Homo-oligomer: A and B are copies of this chain.
Amino acid sequence: MNGLDRIRCVALRDKVMSAEQAIELIQDGAVVGLSGFGGAGEAKTVPLALADHAKAHPLKITLATGASLGNQIDGRLNEAHAIERRYPYQADPDLRKSINAGEVMYIDQHLSEMADHIRHHNLPPINVAIIAATAITEDGEIIPTGSCGNSANFVEMAEQVIVEIDNSINPILEGVHDIYVPKARPNRSPIPIIHAGDRIGTGGIQVNPEKIAAIVLNDIPDTSFHMDEPDDDTLAIARHLIQFFEGEVAAGRLPQHLGPLQSGVGSIANAVFSGFEHSNFHHLEMYSEVLQDCTFKLIDAGKMTFASGCSMTLSDSCAKHVMKNFEQYKGRIVLRPQEISNNPEIIRRLGVIAINTALEFDIYGNVNSTHVTGTKMMNGIGGSGDYTRNAHIAIFVSKSVAKGGAISSVVPMVSHVDHTGHDIDVLVTENGLADLRGLAPRERARKMIDICAHPDYRDALNDYFERACARGGQTPHLLEEALSWHANFEKTGSMHKTT
């Protein structure tokens, strides 16, 4: 059988079975912990078999993951009505519809926290873990694939473990992971990462072999990731940011190499990081979640010396390039469990500069990352809160308008708050960068309107702000109007006033 040789602990080869046999371990009502983060590293054959099975034999599970899954696994399970509860993050368009219809209970969570919530009984225990593996070592360690996510935690906490040996993964990946699982309280020690590149754990996930209830062989590859090319707006955002960093270095407020960088996933973040490629910055480092194409471009360009992440989420062409030249990257990247990549302790210690994408921000610097018009979930907060709260400099970026100008991303009051103004240092749109550090709310509003807002919305924002200031308060608002821009959009399809 293809992949049997990857089970180097020979005694475990007896546990190989078909996906159809393995899913019999999953009972109706089970809490299932699935590997996968940023669309990379998920088990595939077993959950897809479960989706097929559930169509004929209805069952509901609670699905816990690292973060988002590829291969439409969320979508296929959702189509089979097999997901009752879901956490901590998802990015599937079909699942999203069921979530917003109130059919699937989605619990949006900071990615660093879920493992502790399970370990310390704020969330129910994991019954079955399904973990994608590059290999099982002679010692029985499970080598993850393209992400670490919560896999090590799930293996430790689950009653039973299904390992999916992923033949589609290049075995050269072995050695890139650094698995460290904090002890349960009250016996927890400091996490000993001092520099972004420190290795503190083992190369694979340690597991009691008796817990391994099934091993399934998989040939379905991870989903490849498509990234939009930068456009004029995202390039402008990148320029503003590079200019800001240059200014900070010139003023002596940031070191030449800036300090470890974190970047959210997506086209804007990708453009920003491309901006570094043509900058004068060197010796950059990442301490982030998802290593994207731009990470490897920066390494190739001699700009980045090290990148720590939780997953590699790459386009087909970049993945091929990386695997072909893996030896040159091996000492320059590491993949960690999300409890470590996103850990407040490390983020604050290292002084990470966090760059994430907002849906909208308001004139006082509050940020909405998740809810369209305050009600409909997009993907979830992901790691943005882990990084933003603890960052040295917390930055959010967004285009200043959406839907051809019908939506302003700078509003009087965000319709949903994921990040409070306390946590926000810098906001950027294509129009400019507002440095909000050390400013009171009224001062922030002035900058947000003058610098970040789209010119078409500035008069209306000024009008709101001035009338609100006339009423007074630390954070002046006209409560009866504060969300009228969103209500207007829902009614008329535009935030522009119709009168």
Contact = CB atoms under 8 A, between A and B. Distances in A.
Contacts of A474: 99-100, 106, 108, 371, 375-377
Contacts of A99: 474
Given A351-B120, A371-B474, A392-B120, A345 B105 contact: no
A224 interface: no
Nearest to A85: B440
A186 B345 contact: no
Nearest to A372: B473
Contacts of A255: 186
A476 B376 CA distance: 8
A381 B490 contact: no
Contacts of A439: 105, 107
A431 interface: no
Contact of A110 (B109, B116, B122, B422): B422
Contacts of A490: 479
Contacts of A366: 417
A487 to B, nearest CB: 4
Residue among A124, A423, A438, A471 having the largest count of chain B Cβ atoms under 10 Å: A438
A253 B184 CA distance: 13
Interface stretch (A33-41, A190-198, A302-310, A395-403): A190-198
A123 to B, nearest CB: 5
A25 interface: no
A477 B375 contact: yes
A375 B475 contact: yes
Interface in A350-366: 350-351, 366
Interface residues of A, number: 87
Given A190-B190, A348-B345, A375-B473, A443 B392 contact: no
A332 interface: no
A263 B109 CA distance: 24
Given A385-B422, A442-B102, A480-B487, A416 B186 contact: no
A122 B188 contact: no
A415 interface: yes
A389 interface: yes
Contacts of A121: 248, 251-254
A192 B190 contact: yes
A483 interface: yes
A251 to B, nearest CB: 8
Nearest to A393: B122
A232 B421 CA distance: 36
Interface in A176-216: 185-186, 188-192, 194-195
A407 to B, nearest CB: 14
Contacts of A477: 374-375, 415
A245 to B, nearest CB: 13
Nearest to A435: B122
Interface string A381-395: 100010001101100
A484 interface: yes
A373 interface: yes
A274 interface: no
A476 B375 contact: yes
Contacts of A108: 422, 474
Interface of A: 85, 87, 99-102, 105-110, 116-117, 120-124, 185-186, 188-192, 194-195, 248, 251-255, 259, 343-345, 348-351, 366, 371, 373-377, 381, 385, 389-390, 392-393, 415-420, 422-423, 425, 437-440, 442-443, 468-469, 471-477, 479-480, 482-484, 486-487, 490
Nearest 9 pairs of A and B residues by beta carbon: A375-B473, A190-B190, A377-B474, A417-B417, A121-B253, A105-B440, A345-B345, A185-B351, A344-B344
Given A116-B392, A479-B483, 10 more contacts: A107-B439, A108-B474, A185-B351, A186-B259, A188-B194, A190-B349, A344-B344, A366-B417, A374-B477, A377-B475
